[in-house]
Amino acid sequence: MTAVISGFFRRTGRSFVEYFQRIGNDYRTVAKETVEACKEKPFKAGFYFAGLGGLVYAYRTNPSEESMMNDLRERRQIMTLLPPPIHNKESDKYIRIPGPKPQRLDMERVLPQHS
């Protein structure tokens, strides 16, 4: 019984090693072909690398939702220091924090009038 189990693990272990060797060989071949293609067509390679660099830059500088909301809150606070008549309407529109609109308070319902 132990011979069967050890034989199974030996065969499985070899197949895993062979599998990863084939994967490594495939990646090595692709890397060599990519370098050769970059040498043959440097303008095309530069275009692709510039696009890839732009995507990496956009990903790295993209703010999180929390930092964006904090920035909006800070700018909103600065706007409160200015009198409303001199606010730029476009600035007011962009400084509003997204979310549900506040409900209007119905004073008659809150403070009923008794006659």
Does 39 have pLDDT greater than 80?
yes
Separation between Cα atoms, residue 22 and residue 16, nearest integer Å: 10
Across the chain, mean pLDDT equals 79
pLDDT tens-digit map of 64-106: 888 888 888 888 888 778 787 887 788 777 776 565 665 555 5
CB 72 within 8 A of CB 97: yes
Give the per-residue pLDDT at 35. 92
Residue 99 falls in which region: left (phi positive, over 0), alpha (psi -120 to 50) or beta = left
Give the residue extent of every domain in the chain.
2-61, 65-97
Min mean pLDDT across 24-33, 36-45, 49-58, 83-92 is at 83-92
- The average pLDDT across 40-64 equals 92
